[in-house]
A and B are shown apart, each in its own frame.
Chain A
């Protein structure tokens, strides 16, 4: 158990819908990362938040957005869903102390999204 929790475990929805995925980082971790894992694209970095602020953006679509709340939990919002959005969505967290060059990321169990 990594200490990172994600809800829900599974989500089945229809095209055009909107869903919210939730992540709670490990206690004390200020940084949250979102990743998408699909068969054709592999594991792709989407976005990072650090202490409530967006820190880095990867291959995140404009239909997707995220935020990190004062209690450090994060939500990933996916809208106007398409069949191709079906994937495993992972959240990870890390401490990322200031000035440190070395950060291990701890991954949650993932949310499996199926868009029908």
Chain B
């Protein structure tokens, strides 16, 4: 089953508006990452937030993490038509017995459509 569940499943907004996507997960994590996927293409890493961080910014992206609620949010400000894509959260959990091994578990994704 999916570790991360994104909400909403689909989001449609006008160019210039902000887009917020949420992700919930079930088990303890080392970090949480957000990826973007254009239709049928490979995933592109957007941002990584560590379990001891609460907020992180990268350009127009803002990610928050609440480990007590096991949830994260991705905010894209001043959206553009080019932001249209699917956005996935992925949680990294240790894989015993190797401490340095990490398995990423992806959520089901949010399909964002930004209308010009």
Chain B residue with minimal CB distance to A42? B108
With A101-B31, A102-B31, A102-B50 known to touch, is A96 a contact of B102 (CB < 8 Å)? yes
Query: Are B95 and A55 in contact (CB-based, < 8 A)?
Result: yes
Query: Are B50 and A55 in contact (CB-based, < 8 A)?
Result: no
Please give the distance in Å from A35's CB to the nearest CB on chain B. 8
Please give the distance in Å from A41's CB to the nearest CB on chain B. 9
Q: Which of A14-22, A63-71, A72-80, A107-115 contacts B (4 or more CB under 8 A)?
A: A107-115
Q: Residues on B close to A: CB < 8 A?
A: 2, 30-31, 33, 35, 40-45, 48, 50, 88, 92, 94-95, 98-109
- For residue B100, which residues in chain A have a CB less than 8 angstroms away from its CB? 50, 96-100
Among A2, A35, A55, A103: residue with most chain B CB under 10 A: A103
- Which secondary structure dominates chain B's binding surface? strand
Among A31, A43, A96: residue with most chain B CB under 10 A: A43
Question: Which residues of chain A in 45-101 are interfacial with respect to chain B, using CB atoms and an 8 Å cutoff?
Answer: 45, 48, 50, 55-56, 58, 88, 90, 92, 94, 96-101
**A: interface residue count bin:** 20 to 34
A-B CB contact pairs (8 Å), 18 listed: A55-B98, A55-B101, A56-B95, A56-B101, A88-B40, A90-B42, A96-B101, A99-B99, A100-B100, A101-B102, A102-B30, A103-B102, A105-B45, A105-B104, A107-B42, A109-B41, A109-B42, A112-B40
